[in-house]
Amino acid sequence: AAMAAVREVEIDPEGTFKYILVRLQRPGGEEQRDIVRGTKAAEFHNHIFEKVNPEMEKLGYECKCLGGGKIDHNSKDKKIRVFGLSTGYGKADHSVTVEILKKVYTDYEITWSDDKK
């Protein structure tokens, strides 16, 4: 499976929830890609990783969590705010997350901050 076939962003359509930034890589390969995953269903950031990792391993990728935070997704106003951090994984580089989100949510206003709330 081509790495490009993996969706860059899978987040809930509405609400505030935890997210992680994950780097995919082929074992021993140079090619890598960062993806964003977030959901209200996850009580902790590692719950998201525990779901993503086996899915990606099946496709032949190694996953590394680059950190996490929270996403506030307001689909009505077309706004996404990225903030906070993961206790277990540390803070993701929110500026990287925003660039990835912008590729998918092209008509949204997307911002980030180091605020905890």
Q: In this structure, what CATH number is given to the domain that contains residue 44?
A: 3.50.20.20
Catalytic residue chosen out of the listed positions 45, 47, 73, 94: 45
The answer to whether position 107 is within a domain reads yes
Number of domains in the chain: 1
The answer to whether position 4 is within a domain reads no
Structural domain including 22 reads: 9-113
Question: Mean pLDDT per segment of 10 residues, for the chain of length 117 residues?
Answer: 87 98 92 96 97 95 97 98 97 98 98 91
For this structure, is 94 an active site residue? no
Q: Are 22 and 49 in contact (CB under 8 A)?
A: yes
In this prediction the pTM is 0.95
**Is there a binding annotation on residue 18?**
yes
pLDDT at 29: 85
Radius of gyration over alpha carbons of the chain, in Å? 14
